[in-house]
Amino acid sequence: MTHLTTHVLDAASGQPARGVAVVLTGPDGIVATGETDADGRLALGPDRLEPGEYALTFDTGAYFAAQAVTSFHPRVTVAFAVGDEPHLHVPLLLSPFAYTTYRGS
């Protein structure tokens, strides 16, 4: 089973993205919700996730609106598969008009 973390960095400002609402969904619906801390980090879900397909949905539109910044993506959803790794890190590098993600460590 896997422990899941995420980190959101605002590439336009070069700062961690504080206060981004995040929803973790799994095969049976919503698993957990949370908000990134002052360092843009968040641990989500139970201590361990069972193998399967999951998605993180980041409320990027609200994050940018709170800063009076126009953005293109109101939400970013990252789908991924969980195996038997003990820890999975899914970072999001964000700007008002683009984003990227990868499997972190």
Q: For position 71, which CATH number holds?
A: 2.60.40.180
Q: What pLDDT is attached to residue 47?
A: 75
Q: What pLDDT is attached to residue 2?
A: 56
Residue 54 CA to residue 63 CA, distance in Å, equals 22
- Asked whether 92 and 101 are in contact (CB, 8 A), the reply is yes
Q: What pLDDT is attached to residue 48?
A: 80
Mean pLDDT of the chain, nearest integer: 93
Number of independent structural domains in the chain: 1
Q: What pLDDT is attached to residue 100?
A: 97
The whole domain housing 38 covers 2-101
Q: List the Cα angle 24/9/54 in 5-degree steps.
A: 20
**Three-state DSSP class for residue 24:** strand
pLDDT < 50 stretches in the chain:
1
- Asked whether 51 and 84 are in contact (CB, 8 A), the reply is yes
Distances in Å between the alpha carbon of 24 and those of 4, 5, 19, 90? 10, 11, 16, 11
